[in-house]
Amino acid sequence: MNEVLHNRKPEWMAIAAIIDAVGRRDFYATVLETLGRYINCERWLAIKYSRFSAPEFIVNTSLSDEAVEQYMHQLYRIDPLLRLVTEDRVPAVVTFSLMQHEDDSNLYYDEIFKSGQILDELTLMLPVMGGGYLGFCFDREYTLFSDDEIALFTGLYPIVVAAHAAHMRTEFLQGLGALFGDGKVGVLTLGDDDHVIYQNPAWNTLAGHALDKDTLDFILSQPELIAVQVQGLIAHWEYSRNVSASASGVRAVFLERKSEGYIQTDVKEFFEQFYDIYHLSPRERQLVEKTLRGYSMPVIAQKLDLSLGTVRNYKQRLYAKLDITSEREIFSLFMMHMFGQA
């Protein structure tokens, strides 16, 4: 019995720390640090995925400013987690390495991972108000996450969800500030008699003075969670009962500016277009494809049954044809092509 309790000690300590953080301003940072400690990980972030807006960082100790800028500029559009949210098939716990096996398109998300020096990412996906999800992401630079680590997080997931729900109840009474206060999604909460309880700065920015009572009544006349277009924005609402039983009659209205969203086209189509634009030979096409998968030159030589010297020669000719000087530029050039900037 003592041995069993000893083996469970890390989980109990994590649970205690997570529960203790409920209601505190540093809730997200504390939960991320606590979970990271038990998988020996010092790089983490919390990212909010909304129904229609671009993702937003809530906490970030992982990505550099440059990596964040690249991600927010366009790379979020090939974020495999955004794809799962868009397709409404979000798992509780997932790793990037597992998603790679699921869909070849995910292999080419390497650009943001390379810029952030990330080999693998372990993520817990928590549902939040507004129909979105909050991803607790933990990054590794050199090793993949093990089955034991995934199992640990899977076991802790219900506790984290319950603690987050409890935290959101305290947040709701204070205006949903941690998730929506300074974000891009406009939030307005209305009491039983339709008096305004809270509105964040984004609501004022997006709605301005143009969103009059008739427009708000039109939004609220729609079924709960059903999105409608209003003055170039997307609006939807929901009751707060899932957040706070004591304020079950309160409604939260959301305004979002629609982002370009996840790229739905098969990545293979982008490759064929890319090859044709630059008139690449069959060998050069193979080289680009293997390079974008992250394979080193020795591995590429082995997979193509060529000598390392031959692969180097092909790579030099490829660089000349693409007018580039490094492997990193292949990624950048291909990404620019995907996003219509090349």
Last residue in a domain, options 177, 197, 231: 177
Task: Let me know whether 150 and 215 are in one domain.
Answer: no
pLDDT of residue 289: 84
pTM: 0.81
Is 144 a domain residue?
yes
pLDDT of residue 138: 95
- CATH number of the domain where residue 330 is located: 1.10.10.10
Is 73 a domain residue?
yes
Domains contained in the chain, number: 3
Residue 278, C-beta contacts closer than 8 angstroms, at least 6 positions apart: 321, 322
Is 278 a domain residue?
yes
Is 261 a domain residue?
no
pLDDT per position in the chain (342 positions), as tens? Answer: 333 333 445 577 888 889 999 988 899 999 999 999 888 888 999 999 998 999 999 999 988 888 888 888 878 888 888 888 988 889 999 988 777 655 555 545 555 555 556 778 899 999 998 889 999 999 888 888 999 999 999 999 999 999 998 888 887 766 666 788 778 899 998 888 888 888 888 998 888 756 788 999 999 999 999 999 998 899 999 987 666 555 567 888 999 999 987 776 667 788 888 899 999 999 999 998 888 776 788 888 998 999 999 999 999 999 999 998 888 788 778 878 877 765
Element (H, E) at 27: helix 27-37
Task: Let me know whether 71 and 7 are in one domain.
Answer: yes
Task: Let me know whether 194 and 58 are in one domain.
Answer: no
Task: Let me know whether 332 and 214 are in one domain.
Answer: no
Q: Where are the beta strands (DSSP E) in the chain?
A: 44-49, 56-60, 93-95, 120-128, 132-140, 186-190, 196-199, 228-230, 233-239, 251-256
What is the gyration radius of the CA atoms in the chain, in angstroms?
23
Last residue in a domain, options 256, 281, 303: 256
Task: Let me know whether 170 and 184 are in one domain.
Answer: no
pLDDT of residue 6: 39
Is 114 a domain residue?
yes
pLDDT of residue 7: 45
Last residue in a domain, options 127, 145, 177: 177
Lookup: tokens for 271: 């490759």
Task: Let me know whether 137 and 29 are in one domain.
Answer: yes
- CATH number of the domain where residue 77 is located: 3.30.450.80
Structural domain including 117 reads 2-177
pLDDT of residue 36: 93
Task: Let me know whether 248 and 215 are in one domain.
Answer: yes
Is 47 a domain residue?
yes
Contact by Cβ (8 Å): 98, 120: no
Task: Let me know whether 215 and 95 are in one domain.
Answer: no
Is 262 a domain residue?
no
pLDDT of residue 57: 94
Contact by Cβ (8 Å): 53, 69: no
Q: Token pair 């939004």 is at which residue?
A: 219
Q: How far apart are CA 118 and CA 265, in angstroms?
A: 25
Is 246 a domain residue?
yes
pLDDT of residue 1: 38
- CATH number of the domain where residue 240 is located: 3.30.450
Task: Let me know whether 240 and 227 are in one domain.
Answer: yes
Q: How far apart are CA 126 and CA 158, in angstroms?
A: 10
Task: Let me know whether 230 and 104 are in one domain.
Answer: no
pLDDT of residue 116: 58
pLDDT of residue 93: 95
Task: Let me know whether 142 and 235 are in one domain.
Answer: no
Task: Let me know whether 70 and 149 are in one domain.
Answer: yes
